[in-house]
Amino acid sequence: MNPAIIEITPGQLALAFLFVLAAGILSLVYGLKLERDLALGSIRTFVQLVLLGYLLKFIFNINRVWLVLTVFGIMIIFAALTIRGRVRERRVSFLGPVLISMLFSYFTVSFLVTAVVVAVKPWWTPQYFIPLAGMIVGNSVNAIAISLERLFSDLRNRRLEVEMMLCLGADYREASQDIFQNAIRAGMIPSINMMVAAGMVFIPGMMTGQILSGVDPMVAVYYQIVVMLMLVGSTAIGSLLVVRWVRGLCFGPGHQLLLKPEQ
């Protein structure tokens, strides 16, 4: 029999803020100047997650496919805007390719996981689709941002090499093939490292949450395996589509490299 779930009271939640208070005191003592960031981060964490909790309760009660897909679309939009803010390149307009590629690839993966792997009926059941899709979208932000940063920086740093290959008759795909591969590889490394370390170095978050909620550990393990394989696959597909599309935007109609060296 599963143990009863221990609910956290407001008073117990308030006690948890003592950890942040301790970090703030250490920041003052050692002059780290992190007090404002710690306070702001704690407030935002509390407000944003509480609002998210009420929003999810509302969505779960409504239980309509159009609302679930709207939430999914909003997550994609905010993720694409976050990537645009983190990647400093402004000469190449990559927001559209990022948005469309993420929308296609992450909906496909989310649908297959909920409808086929977990076999939820209906597949858009919000208790399953929104958390799983949210993990896919959230995990992708770092991967795509890293891949795009590597793509743009390598095209600039190796501009002469790329242009020499173009002058020798190569098209832009051939001239930038290893740069393209390195960009995808850079974005995939964090996800692969997470897979290697899971279970030995740390207990993943979803598995921890399910165990705390009273789910059998083996059931939690199976769900976590599905999630990690899902994240790696979606990251690979999303990064590949984005970098492949954006790489073409870095070259003109005559296959000339548009990116200029950094000043």
Q: Per-domain residue ranges for the chain?
A: 1-62, 63-249
* Confidence (pLDDT) at 1: 44
State the virtual CA torsion across 59, 63, 68, 70 in degrees, nearest 10: -70
Give the largest CA-CA distance in the chain: 71
Rounded CA gap, 140 and 1, in Å?
Answer: 37
* Confidence (pLDDT) at 25: 94
* Confidence (pLDDT) at 41: 92
The token duo for 251 is 């070259």
Contact 143, 191 (CB under 8 A): yes
User: Per-residue confidence at 4, pLDDT binned at 50, 70, 90?
Assistant: low
User: Per-residue confidence at 19, pLDDT binned at 50, 70, 90?
Assistant: very high
> Helix or strand or coil: residue 257?
strand
Cis peptide before 97 (omega within 30 of 0): no
pLDDT in tens, 39-85: 999 999 999 999 989 999 999 898 899 999 999 999 999 999 999 98
Annotate 148-183 with DSSP letters as a single string: HHHHHHHHHHTHHHHHHHHHTT--HHHHTHHHHHHH
Q: In this model, does residue 3 exceed pLDDT 80?
A: no
